[in-house]
Amino acid sequence: MRSPLTPEMATQEVQLNETLAHLKTESETLKTKLEEERAKLHDVELHQVAEKVEGLGQFVMKTRRTLKGHGNKVLCMDWCKDKRRIVSSSQDGKVIVWDAFTTNKEHAVTMPCTWVMACAYAPSGCAVACGGLDNKCSVYPLSLDKNENLAAKKKSVAMHTNYLSACSFTNSDMQILTSSGDGTCALWDVESGQLLQSFHGHAADVLCLDLAPSETGNTFVSGGCDKKANVWDMRSGQCIQSFETHESDINSVRYYPSGDAFASGSDDATCRLYDLRADREVAIYSKESIIFGVSSVDFSLSGRLLFGGYNDYTINVWDVLKGTRVSILFGHENRVSTLRVSPDGTAFCTGSWDHTLRIWA
């Protein structure tokens, strides 16, 4: 129940609304102008330019390893820099470190919550980070002593006000970048747990992030339920570029290996390529027969192939330049929820709601 307005308050409120409406109009005008400017530079399509590139041959990609051990949906995984170990997390609250080459489990941690949606391997290979419905990101140092209880050395680093959707170490074990259902991303100092920088701008849950591959780069990209992909400056916390062409949630973002572009995967069943220099979407990867959402994407080492894990249990492999699908891989018996290419590009790993992980090469 609103208290009765005085005539002055009523006028003020009308004025405020007018100013807001006025600003919104200005914003819309600018958006149109920006689109016009960018469209002028859109002189050709990537796949047209790529017609002169030699086509790729037939691919034989198979499951080379199957990792069984999780008791429920696998939600996330990450590779160790040693190119063979991986960490995976599941709805059952377990985080497992595997030697994917031998399929042996090396460590296992039970989290206090279910739905561990994010996990990451530290660059040194000596720790893993994970989190999910507990709204936190915790770091567990990996002990060489198999009998040691990893949970005892747990370090709580990040604190959000909603679920943790993704986490990634920056170039060292000392900083972690997180994204959350609370609509923000944040950079944390691992040792002290201090918040170094927060990133505000998404209008809804942030679902994914990826750090720019450059050695000196200080940027990262995030994707969210507001259908936007934002590029951020880690130093200032500012959003430096924004892309909004998807028709639904962006579940995954991944940089092209040169760092000049990034790919996204969305619930609208498409993957898209955005170039940072053109400030524009330059390719869209879709097919009439693909109607289920993309949960995760990653590039092969040269950037020629884009692998997409889908909610229809398949993996679609795309020719990034020509825009065509080169292969469809069957095997998982439920949604593919996570997909990452190994550090040296020799394989990629998928995690699924069917409780397993698979290594493909």
Partner 1 sequence: MAEGAKEPVGVGTTDPEEDSPNMIVYRKIEDIVTRIQDENAGGVSIRTVKSFLSKIPSVVSGADIVQWLMKNLSVEDPAEAIHLGSLVAAHGYIFPISDHVLMLKDDGTLYRFQSPYFWPSNCWEPENTDYAIYLCKRTMQNKARLELADYEAENLARLQRAFARKWEFIFMQAEAQVKIDRKKDKAERKILDSQERAFWDVHRPVPGCVNTTEMDIRKCRRERNPHRVKKSVYGVPDDGQSQPSPVHISSQPTKKTTKEDVQKEINFLNSQLDRHCMKVSKVADSLMSYTEQFMEYDPFVSATEPSNPWISDDMSFWDLEASRDPSQQRVKKWGFSLEEALKDPAGRDQFLKFLESEFSSENLRFWLAVQDLKRRPLQDVSSRAQEIWQEFLAEGAPSPINLDSHSYERTSQNIKDPGRYSYEDAQEHIFKLMKSDSYARFLRSNIYQDLLLARKKGKSLTGKRLTGLMQSS
Q: Strand 271-275's sheet: what is its strand order?
A: 250-255, 261-266, 271-275, 280-285
Rounded-to-integer distance, Cα 172 and Cα 309, Å:
28
- Backbone φ, ψ for residue 135 (5° rounding): 65, 10
Binding string to partner 1 for residues 248 to 267, with x set by CB under 8 A, is what?
xx------xxx-xx-----x
13 near partner 1, rule: CB under 8 A: no
87 near partner 1, rule: CB under 8 A: no
By CB under 8 A, name the one of 20, 108, 126, 151 that touches partner 1: 20
Q: What is the DSSP track for 284-333? A: EE--TT--SPEEEEEE-TTSSEEEEEETTS-EEEEETTT--EEEEE---S
Token match 């004025």: residue?
A: 15
Q: Which is nearer to partner 1, 133 or 145 (CB)?
A: 133
Q: What is the largest CA-CA distance in the chain?
A: 77
Q: How far is the CB of 144 from partner 1 (least distance, A)?
A: 20
Binding string to partner 1 for residues 290 to 329, with x set by CB under 8 A, is what?
-xxx------xxxxxx-----xxxx-----xx------x-
Q: How far is the CB of 232 from partner 1 (least distance, A)?
A: 12
Q: How far is the CB of 316 from partner 1 (least distance, A)?
A: 10
Q: How far apart are the first and last CA of the chain?
A: 64
Q: What is the DSSP track for 71-88? A: SS-EEEEEE-TTSSEEEE
14 near partner 1, rule: CB under 8 A: no
Contacts of partner 1 in 102-141 (CB under 8 A): 114-115, 117, 133
By CB under 8 A, name the one of 126, 189, 198, 244 that touches partner 1: 189
Question: Taking contact as CB under 8 A, which single stretch among the options 7-15, 103-111, 143-151, 211-219 is the one that binds partner 1?
Answer: 211-219
Show Cβ contacts of residue 131 under 8 Å, excluding neighbours closer than 6 positions. Answer: 111, 116, 117, 118, 137, 138, 158, 164, 167, 178
10 near partner 1, rule: CB under 8 A: no
Q: How far is the CB of 147 from partner 1 (least distance, A)?
A: 28
58 near partner 1, rule: CB under 8 A: no
Rounded-to-integer distance, Cα 134 and Cα 160, Å:
9
By CB under 8 A, name the one of 64, 68, 81, 153 that touches partner 1: 64
Question: Taking contact as CB under 8 A, which single stretch among the options 1-9, 33-41, 103-111, 149-157 is the one that binds partner 1?
Answer: 33-41
By CB under 8 A, name the one of 148, 194, 198, 244 that touches partner 1: 194
Rounded-to-integer distance, Cα 193 and Cα 356, Å:
33
